[in-house]
Homo-oligomer: A and B are copies of this chain.
Amino acid sequence: MGEHTVTSFDDDLNHIQQLIRDMSELAGSMVGAAIRALVTSDNALAQRVVSDDAIMDARQRELDDRSIALIAKRQPMAQDLRAVVGAIRMAGDLERIGDLAKNIAKRVSAVGHGVTPRNLSHGIEGMADLVLRQVQSVIELYVARDADGLRTLRTDDEKIDARYTAVFRELLTYMMEDPRNITACTHLLFCAKNLERIGDHVTNIAENAYYVVTGEQLPVSRPKLDETQLSVLAE
C-alpha cells in the first residue's frame, strides 16, 4: 500500500488516475454486456453485469477515500487540487453509468424472448453503439488531455438524444399497435432512457475533464431536448 514508503504527490495522483481508467473500462464493458444481454436475451450475461456493479462501487469508494486522504495530507493548491476533485466527480459519474447498465441488465428477463420486434431492438442497438463509443472515448480523451476532443464529445450527446427520441416514439407506436407489447416495450423504454442518461453522465465527465485539463469551464450547453417535450403522439 505504500504506507511505509515515501510517495510523491504525483505517485498518489497517478494511482487515482489509474483507478479512473479502471472504472472507465469497467463501465464500458458493463454497458456493452448489458446491451448484448438485452438483445440476445442472455440472462447469464445480465447476471454478470449485476455482479460487476459491486466491483464498480468498491472502486469508487477506494478512489474517494484515496482522494480525500490525498487532499488532507498534501493540501494541494490550484491545478493539483482541481485534478483530485475532478477525479472524485468523474468517478461519481462512472459509478452512475455502471448503475444504469445494471438497471438495463435487470430488465433482460422482464423483456423476455422474441417479444422485441427486430427493427426495434435495432433502434436501441444503434443508440447503444453511440453511447458505448462515448463511454469508451471520454476517459481516453481526458488521459490524452485532448480539450478539443472533449468539447466535440459533449456536442455529440445531441445525436444520442435525437436517437433516444426516435426510439421513444417507435416504442410508443408498438405499444399502441398491439397491447401485448406493452409490458416488454415499457421495460425497453426504461432501457432506452437509461442509455440516454448514460450519455448525460458522459457529458458531465467531459465537462469535468475539460475543466481539469484547461482550468476553464466549457460554455453552458444547449437546452436539453428530450422526450418530455413529446406531448402529442396519441391518435
- CB A90 to nearest CB in B, in angstroms, measures 13
Describe A's contact surface by its main secondary structure: helix
A-side interface residues, number (CB < 8 Å): 41
- A contact set with B: CB distance below 8 Å: 64, 68, 71-73, 75-77, 81, 85, 92, 103, 106-107, 109-112, 172, 175-176, 179-180, 182-184, 186-187, 189-190, 193, 226-235
- CB A229 to nearest CB in B, in angstroms, measures 7
Provide the residues of chain B in CB contact with A110, threshold 8 Å. 227-231
Report the separation of the CA atoms of residues A73 and B72 in the bound assembly, to the nearest whole angstrom: 8
Provide the residues of chain B in CB contact with A71, threshold 8 Å. 68, 71-72
Among A106, A111, A175, A189, chain B packs the most CB atoms within 10 A around the CB of A175
A172 and B183 within 8 A (CB): yes
Report the separation of the CA atoms of residues A91 and B229 in the bound assembly, to the nearest whole angstrom: 29
Report the separation of the CA atoms of residues A185 and B178 in the bound assembly, to the nearest whole angstrom: 16
Select from chain B the residue with minimum beta-carbon distance to A190: B193
- CB A192 to nearest CB in B, in angstroms, measures 11
